[in-house]
Structure 1
Amino acid sequence: MLKVKNLHVYYGGIHALKGINVEVNQGEIVTIIGSNGAGKSTLLNTITGIVKPKEGEIFYKGEKLSLIPHKIVAKGICQVPEGRLVFANLTVKDNLLLGAYLRKDKAEINKDLQNVYEIFPRLKEREKQMAGTLSGGEQQMLAIGRALMGRPEIMLLDEPSLGLAPLLVDTIFKIILDIKKMGKTILLVEQNAFKALEIADRAYVLEQGRITLEGGAKDIASDPKVQEAYLGKRVVG
């Protein structure tokens, strides 16, 4: 469904991504794990056209992606950015409606709005509240709901559990599984490697701009180097 081939990205003289190859099949949750500064967010931002690659190609459903952000959204690819990035001075409802800004089907937009409220009842309770006054967990729900309003086929989630209390982290990961059951495909960047590998089908380990390991999520989780580096387990050998 989504294929990244030989992707190279630079920030000035810094070579941020070094020949990245990633594939996401329809209906999967694929996670990218790695330490801070490994290039995880850069990869998502390049897929959605925010960052321009120096070399490499991105294909969606067999067609080469144009690297223009609104055209990528129109194709069915939506990103939930790191840090939520909700519109703080707009209401919850207005934030959600902005997720459907490329759509013209008003009746269907309203139907999807009600569906988002069913998934996130807390957003319905706060639909007239300014987004900037929500808690971190509520803002994360809003950011996910806003992406769903675009009717994406594939969602790119960038650090959805960052800064959340443990109980809310569990809630967010349950929601991600629920979104998969809705028929969505998910590419998940997540610093909580344990939780990410628990729900993912496949995984890639990204270190200093390179993919160093890939495979089934269970296999990656049982790898001694991954356990020591990302899962907090000391491997004695």
Structure 2
Amino acid sequence: MLKVDNLNVYYGGIHALKGVSINVDEGQIVSIIGSNGAGKSTLINSISGIVKYKEGEITYKGDKLPKQAHKIVKAGICQVPEGRIIFANLTVMENLNMGAFLRNDKNDIEKDKKRIFELFPILKARENQIAGTLSGGEQQMLAMGRGLMSNPDLILLDEPSLGLAPLLINTIFDIIIEIKNMGKTILLVEQNAFKALSIADKAYVLEQGVVTLEGDAKSLIKDEKVQEAYLGKKNTQTV
């Protein structure tokens, strides 16, 4: 579904991504793991059109992906950004409506809204509440719901567990699996390597802008280098 080939991104004189190549097959959860500053968010922002890349190519469903963010959304890709960047002064319902901004299929929009309220019941209870007053976990659910309202085939999730309590993290990852079961494809960028690998079909390890490991997620979770660098002794006992 998505192919990133030899992507190079620079921030001034800093070479942030150095020839990164990844593949995402339809129906998969593909996880990108790595430490802070590894280039994970740069990669996902490059795919969604937020960051401009200097060299390389991105193709989506066999066609070259446009570089303008609104055209990328229209093509069927949405990003749920790091930090739950919602419209804080709008209500929950208004945020969801913003997610469907490029759509004009009113009946399907209402069906998708109903499905999102089934996926996130708390959003239904808060539909008229100002989004900025929601808890961190509720804001993350709203950000994911707003992304789904664009009716994407591919969802880019950037650090969905960041800053959440452990119980909420489990809930968010359960919901990610449910979204996959809805027929969506997911590219997941996540610092919580154990959780990311445990739900993924395939994974890549990004270090200082370079892909250093890739493969089946269940194999990577048992890899000694991955365990030592990202999982720690506590998590290796649960593998």
Quick one: distance in 2 between partners of 1:28 and 1:115? 21
The answer for unaligned runs of 5 or more in structure 1 is none
SS of match in other structure, 2:186? strand
TM-superposed CA distance for 1:111, in Å, is 1.4
The answer for unaligned runs of 5 or more in structure 2 is none
Matches within 5 A, 1:1-237: 1-233=1-233
SS of match in other structure, 1:215? strand
Quick one: distance in 2 between partners of 1:164 and 1:82? 12
Quick one: distance in 2 between partners of 1:49 and 1:198? 28
- Matched AA of 1:201: D
Quick one: distance in 2 between partners of 1:58 and 1:41? 16
Quick one: distance in 1 between partners of 2:228 and 2:136? 29
Instruction: Give % identity.
Output: 71
TM-superposed CA distance for 1:144, in Å, is 0.4
TM-align CA RMSD: 0.9
Map Cα deviations across residues 112-143 of structure 1 (whole Å, 9 max, x no partner): 11111111010000000000000000000000
The runs of 4+ residues in structure 1 deviating greater than 2 Å are none
TM-superposed CA distance for 1:233, in Å, is 2.3
Map Cα deviations across residues 20-50 of structure 1 (whole Å, 9 max, x no partner): 0000000000000000000000000000111
Map Cα deviations across residues 178-223 of structure 1 (whole Å, 9 max, x no partner): 0000000000000000000000000000000000000000111111
Quick one: distance in 2 between partners of 1:197 and 1:65? 27
Quick one: distance in 2 between partners of 1:233 and 1:52? 39
Q: Aligned pairs, how many?
A: 235
Bigger drift between 103-112 and 17-26 goes to 103-112
Quick one: distance in 1 between partners of 2:111 and 2:157? 23
Tell me the TM-score normalised to structure 1 length. Answer: 0.98
Tell me the TM-score normalised to structure 2 length. Answer: 0.97
- Matched AA of 2:83: G
Map Cα deviations across residues 42-61 of structure 1 (whole Å, 9 max, x no partner): 00000011100010000001
